[in-house]
Structure 1
């Protein structure tokens, strides 16, 4: 088996685990923000915090041992748009609220029989490629060029001049400590186990692409879990598979759907769901489109930036995550709240 085939199979396995865990637990940043905001129940938000903490600790451990150089990732950049990144996060978060879930959650729901998610995913993938390399790409490039900011460092460890493991312990350990300080969270194993499992998939993905995918002549691009561009790439692969090569991101996307489907069938939880009204469909289409546009602008989604980017302790990722949470919050409550939960 070649190193590229090994990466594809490993990506499929990672996706299967993500899909199964996501279907079983309902792991979702939006649901965590919704529950904390409207019900005072922070357990799902704390599950996401545990995933963030585990992602940071595991990824920085890989970097400390020299197995993976996170500085080579998409997120560790010292030049980024001070406007596009937070604005993209804001658009993604608001779109996530409109569509009632992020791209990763839509894949899980699709595997569970939710036909609404198919519309969300198609709109997300098309919009992402329109901004990435299509008709909206020149506008994105102009905006990024006009608002580029150069920082003294790309990541928090580089900025403060400390080895990555030390801020990783503080940030990752702090997030986990905050989550497990809640007695209700500790007494809900489904929530904290899902956070531990999905968080561990982030360093597993870095290891897959950075170690298993390493080759002197044909290295695999270093990447971890993210779902905006890969969803668009998956749509493209379905149409042009004979002229393209299956990669890590597409195999993860396929694995998520299959993992969710398997878990839904195992739990006898597979149900077909459609739209309640034309307005409901329009809201989902708008949400998917905003997530595609915003995800490209912010260099990632709630998983891509919220877990993978955050695991590198990238300064740009902190800004993007703040935008995503704020956008979701605006979509949940306030004058811009249009979605139903």
Structure 2
């Protein structure tokens, strides 16, 4: 391994993959330990805010976003790595999930986000918290992980079916999406508009999408007040800036626009965060937000900047390529038909075969729903003796180790070690069958919703937000709305046991300022 400019260069694919897997595990280990130590919990953040007005953990979550945004825009500005609108990084590595994808899946973001938000309330925590709880001895969370994983596997890989979007129950959601030619992140939209000779349909549709998102976050701003209003202000400034720059014929690059817009958003959010003693007087909240944000940036860097010297494997003068590029051009060429003997004839280096699971190389972000699906892929593959598509041989356990799996193991391991060191490890079981049923329903909703929305409270709420993708902000707001609404309903149900669901729902929506106060049927709690 050596550092070449901003990249990490490896002599062969195997060494590079081992480094990426090891570092992914290490970053997840740190995050798991710190999340356990500081009680960093996104569901807890919403609960504290909604039920008792404590914004400490909510601001810790926002602080993680700020750190991640600053880290990504700086790394992109200095060309250390990038996450472009096509889903490929500047180093030709696939971005996973493809946050800045051209396809703006508004239906997926809203419906998936709502499902995940409700699900994490019933499941006692999001995907990340589920893994942290497992490390702390919570057996309930093991059931949540396995059930969530089954449905995430069904959504991503399918049981003898096609992938998400084509699966019959959810095919209609594809109709609630549209293409955004420059990409869906704020920087790409503004830059594309500023450089357009004439503002055409694509440009106006992109600007219109930003305005729709602006209105959407203003609505949710009635629930969570300033943070969403800050985002709405920044989106409004971005739209105005794009049109103004076009009018003045001052074209500007997407990377520069991300720097300006992302920097402004991070600065305003930071001012909001630091204004509360709930945050500034809590070392745990500061540490939790800082470490989570840095781990997200670290994942982008490790996975997005690692390259392999494949000169002998490619008939090219320069073949220092990303791991994802190596996989595409070398090992999986011609639909898995390249044999081991054919490949080793072209190189003096050992043939290292990345099997199916290791397709998850490239600019992999930190997310915690897809790992549960890949966990099931590993369980099914190893237990059934799944054979390689390259040589027909049974795949070893190591063939199923990929970045998502290492994230899953890392969070659990880090949380477990901290639980032992702090003597907080304890077993926890379901209080009743109703408790089991509640957690199971929550797990199903998280598995389906998390994949549909392309991420969870960390996957979209921190990692996705760091890319400034509009879809991530829509998903984040939807997750919050789903969680807040379900918490309100649960609280009213506890106090007014005889009240009907419709009455409680209307009262909860009125409490959240989504309906007029005059429609409230019950007294506020």
Q: Fold conserved (TM > 0.5)? A: yes
What number of residue pairs does the alignment pair up?
340
Q: Contact (CA 8 Å) 1:59, 1:203: kept in 2 or not?
A: yes
Is 1:51 aligned to residue 64 of structure 2?
yes
Helix, strand or coil at the partner of 2:400:
coil
Is 1:181 aligned to residue 322 of structure 2?
no
Q: Contact (CA 8 Å) 2:111, 2:449: kept in 1 or not?
A: yes
Cα RMSD (Å) of the superposition?
Answer: 2.0
Shift of 1:240: 2.8
Aligned counterparts, 1:257-276, within 5 A: 257-276=412-431
Q: Contact (CA 8 Å) 1:80, 1:148: kept in 2 or not?
A: yes
Task: Report the equivalent of 1:77.
Answer: 101
CA distance 1:40–1:335, change in 2 (3 Å): closer
Q: Distance in 2 between matches of 1:139 and 1:177?
A: 46
Task: Report the equivalent of 1:283.
Answer: 438
Q: Distance in 1 between matches of 2:270 and 2:370?
A: 29
Q: Distance in 1 between matches of 2:261 and 2:437?
A: 43
Shift of 1:335: 7.1
1:309-330 superposed Cα distances (whole Å, 9 cap, x missing partner):
1110001111111111111111
1:107-146 superposed Cα distances (whole Å, 9 cap, x missing partner):
0000000001001111110011112232584136622432
1:277-336 superposed Cα distances (whole Å, 9 cap, x missing partner):
000000000001100000111011111000111110001111111111111111110379
Q: Contact (CA 8 Å) 1:80, 1:144: kept in 2 or not?
A: no
Is 1:168 aligned to residue 262 of structure 2?
yes
Q: Contact (CA 8 Å) 2:153, 2:376: kept in 1 or not?
A: no
Structure 1: runs of 5+ lacking an equivalent: none
Task: Report the equivalent of 2:381.
Answer: 240
Q: Distance in 1 between matches of 2:189 and 2:426?
A: 49
1:217-269 superposed Cα distances (whole Å, 9 cap, x missing partner):
23722111001111111232244352633111111110100000000000000
Q: Distance in 2 between matches of 1:208 and 1:237?
A: 23
Q: Contact (CA 8 Å) 1:331, 1:337: kept in 2 or not?
A: no
Task: Report the equivalent of 1:210.
Answer: 304
Q: Contact (CA 8 Å) 2:54, 2:278: kept in 1 or not?
A: no
Is 1:7 aligned to residue 20 of structure 2?
yes
Aligned with residue 292 of structure 1, among 444, 447, 451: 447
Aligned counterparts, 1:1-341, within 5 A: 2-71=15-84, 72=88, 73=95, 74-134=98-158, 137=164, 138-139=167-168, 142-152=171-181, 153-161=183-191, 163=256, 164-212=258-306, 214-215=322-323, 216-218=325-327, 220-241=361-382, 242=396, 244-334=399-489
Shift of 1:212: 2.3
More divergent stretch after superposition (85-94 vs 66-75): 66-75
Q: Distance in 2 between matches of 1:335 and 1:110?
A: 25
Q: Contact (CA 8 Å) 1:32, 1:42: kept in 2 or not?
A: yes
Structure number with larger C-alpha Rg = 2
Helix, strand or coil at the partner of 2:364:
coil
More divergent stretch after superposition (244-253 vs 265-274): 244-253
More helix by share: 1
Q: Contact (CA 8 Å) 1:92, 1:327: kept in 2 or not?
A: yes
Helix, strand or coil at the partner of 2:32:
helix
Higher RCO (C-alpha 8 Å, min separation 6):
1
More divergent stretch after superposition (104-113 vs 71-80): 71-80
